[in-house]
Amino acid sequence: MKFDVEKIRQDFPLLKKFLKGRPYIYFDNACMSLRPQAVLNAEKEYYEQESSCAGRSVHKLSEEVNRRIEQVRKLAARFINAKSEKEIIFTKNTTEGLNIVARGWPFNEGDKVFITDKEHNSNLVPWLVLKKEKHIILKVIPSKSNNVFDLETFKELIEQERPRFVSLGMTSNLDGVTIPTEEIIKISHQYGALTMLDAAQAAPHQKIDVLDLDVDFLAFSGHKMLGPTATGILYGKKELLDKLDPLLTGGGNLETSFYDSYKFLGAPQKFEAGLQNYAGIYGLGEAIIYLEELGFDNIKKQELELNKFITEAISNFPQVKIIGPKDPSSRGGIISFHIDDFDSREVALMFDQLSNIAIRSGQHCVHSWFNHHHLSGSARASFYFYNTLEEAKIFVETLEKILKLK
């Protein structure tokens, strides 16, 4: 597929929007991406044409919904190269996926879990809760001074500590740095540890091959990769999913129940209790098709071009400090920065007020890292393939204006 950003932008209704005579510039893609018309149409189609329950009733509408949902499951399996669609669980988001594993795995007192010092709260707090409830031991692997994963320290620690579980963010939402996933998983397995990846920031921007990686569990969200809100995927190896207890129980995940007992269905249904977000899943399917047609090489190339341009421009302003490595190619589509004497919220509000540029400010759900580094927060611009160099130029011009305020 030929990559034509102007043509692609026509697929996104929000990019055609003008506010007070200016176009809307959306640089908050690490929080949530925009949706193409195809995704919106798919959701609408469910409500208008096929609105009914899947897997419960026998009428034609229900059968059709069932077929479409299972079709999306197959698409999702293909998207990450899972062995079988039975390894694909529909969730609300990455947070739910990570919680299903953390809460459902049979941990014992004293079991060790490794995470990094840059984890999103979704991959920190579930473990802190387990530390409190099941008395597991949580070990935080420190990053290098430039926020890059320290493989040497990891090797040393895993040899000493022998954890049962290694749960890591594949790409950090704080600074966009991707960890050396393949090596980490290989080492973890050598020492008998299971692995889980929080791929919320990775799945929208790079090809993930779970078979190649040999990862045990992997979770990502739909809303960061063109899909509707409250959609996500949890991947798990079939034999491991069988050992996992579901987070929720109720309608849809039981084979049968008696007054004194119950029997769960097998994976993936075991983890999908209650009526599912069918419209969202329809939309997620379209999002996956859209991304596959576009190709991750094109996506990465466009993001990197913008990040390079902005990083280069920012390097002229000594009061602007980039979080993470200086090299934009190590940060994918994210540039997180703080400015001397500015509150990050002030910066984000000024971008919004001056040029309709949406960026994120604050601690980006990585409070632990900011608290440890005694920083109140950062401003974060995050790009996707539909952002343009023209938008990046407006961003830099606006930044210059903001810097002149002090």
Partner 1 sequence: MLCVAALIVFALLGIFSVAYRKLAKEALDCVLRRVSFRPCESRFDLKVKSQITASLMKRSEKAGQFFWKYFEVFSWIFVVLFIVSTFYTGRAVYNLIRYKTCDPQHPQNCFITSGPGASPSPTECPISQLQNL
Nearer to partner 1, 105 or 351 (CB): 351
Nearer to partner 1, 231 or 378 (CB): 378
CB of 5 to partner 1, least distance (A): 28
Query: How big is the chain by its Cα radius of gyration, in Å?
Result: 22
Structure tokens at 397: 């011009």
List interacting residues with partner 1 (CB under 8 A).
Answer: 343, 345-346, 349-350, 352-354, 401, 404-406
316 burial type by CB count under 10 A (0-12 exposed, 13-18 middle, 19+ buried)? exposed
CB of 357 to partner 1, least distance (A): 12
**What whole-number distance in Å separates Cα of residue 28 and Cα of residue 258?**
49
365 flagged as catalytic: yes
CB of 16 to partner 1, least distance (A): 23
CB of 394 to partner 1, least distance (A): 14
Q: What H or E segment, with its residue span, contains residue 72? A: helix 60-79
- Residue 249's contacts (CB-CB under 8 Å, 6 or more residues apart) are 262, 264, 273
Nearer to partner 1, 324 or 377 (CB): 377
Nearer to partner 1, 213 or 394 (CB): 394
**What whole-number distance in Å separates Cα of residue 115 and Cα of residue 118?**
8
CB of 399 to partner 1, least distance (A): 13
- Contact criterion met (CB below 8 Å) for 134 and 157: no
The β-bridge relationship of strands 165-169 and 194-198 is parallel
Identify the three-state secondary structure at position 3.
coil
- Contact criterion met (CB below 8 Å) for 215 and 120: no
Identify the three-state secondary structure at position 196.
strand
CB of 377 to partner 1, least distance (A): 11
CB burial string 57-95: b at 16+ within 10 A, e below = eeeeebeebbebbeebbebbbebbebeebbbbbbbbbbb
**What whole-number distance in Å separates Cα of residue 225 and Cα of residue 240?**
26
Say what angle helices 389-403 and 296-314 make with each other, to 10 degrees: 20
Catalytic residue among 365, 375, 396, 403: 365
Q: What H or E segment, with its residue span, contains residue 272? A: none
What are the catalytic residues? 365
